[in-house]
């Protein structure tokens, strides 16, 4: 298996670091998160059981780390296709957020995230990569918030953080 090198800050300098090492050390690193929206709902994904952290938990549509020297928008297009088979959509950059979360198994996500939104329709064709995603569903933001309150343990830490702290940035002032 090829080591995936992601951009992380080591001693104040952005450097390529192996992805698992960045999570073990809790290094601040670059990431992208995508929220695919349609008809007042968001497409969420349930992470594959083979993922090395947070397997089986529900997350936003797509989140990943750009490879070293990969532009964020290129990373978004690549991963939407690789994970979900989503092609020919336009992602709009909404801004940047930072969070730090324990994701279990001694791993820390400390991410500087570029947030992107895709506006589409619910009939968007999908082709799930079973190594990445076990299922998807559309959910209204109201229902998602209620489910996070009722069963927070079925959602990734970052989705809970996005919904609690960054909804206005992601979904607009009325969210």
Domain definitions of the chain by residue range: 5-171
Question: CATH assignment of 5-171, given 3.40.50.1370, 3.10.310.10, 3.90.79.10, 3.30.930.10?
Answer: 3.90.79.10
Q: Residue 12, Cβ neighbours under 10 Å: how many? A: 5
How far apart, in whole angstroms, are the C-alpha atoms of residue 62 and residue 84?
8
pLDDT of residue 174: 62
Measured CA distances, 162 to 129, 158, 167 (Å): 24, 6, 6
> Could you tell me the pTM of the whole model?
0.95
Classify each residue of 27-64 as buried b or exposed e, where b means 16 or more C-beta atoms within 10 Å of its C-beta. Answer: bbbbbbbbbbbeeebbbbbbbbeeeebbeebbbbbbbb
pLDDT at site 175: 62
Q: In degrees to the nearest 10, what's the CA dihedral of 55, 115, 23, 3?
A: 90
Which H helix or E strand runs over 32?
strand 28-38
Give every CB contact of residue 173 below 8 A, 6+ residues apart in sequence: none
Tokens of 40: 């007042």
Q: Which active-site residues does the annotation give?
A: 63, 111
Residues of the chain with pLDDT under 50: 1
- Which pLDDT value is given to residue 4? 84
């Amino acid at each position: 298996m090829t080591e995936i090198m992601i951009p992380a800050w080591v001693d104040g300098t952005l450097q390529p670091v192996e992805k698992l090492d960045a999570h073990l050390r809790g290094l601040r690193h670059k990431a992208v998160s995508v929220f695919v929206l349609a008809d007042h709902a968001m497409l969420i994904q349930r992470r594959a059981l083979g993922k090395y952290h947070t397997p089986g938990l529900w997350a936003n549509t797509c989140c990943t780390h750009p490879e070293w020297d990969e532009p964020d928008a290129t990373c978004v297009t690549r991963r939407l296709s690789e994970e979900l088979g989503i092609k020919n959509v336009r992602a709009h950059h909404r801004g940047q957020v930072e969070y730090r979360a324990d994701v279990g198994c001694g791993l820390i996500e400390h991410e500087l995230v570029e947030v992107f939104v895709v506006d589409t329709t619910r009939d968007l064709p999908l082709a799930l990569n079973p190594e990445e995603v076990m299922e998807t569903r559309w959910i209204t933001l109201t229902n998602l918030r209620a489910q996070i309150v009722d069963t927070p343990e079925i959602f990734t830490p970052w989705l809970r953080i996005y919904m609690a702290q960054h909804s206005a940035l992601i979904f607009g002032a009325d969210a």
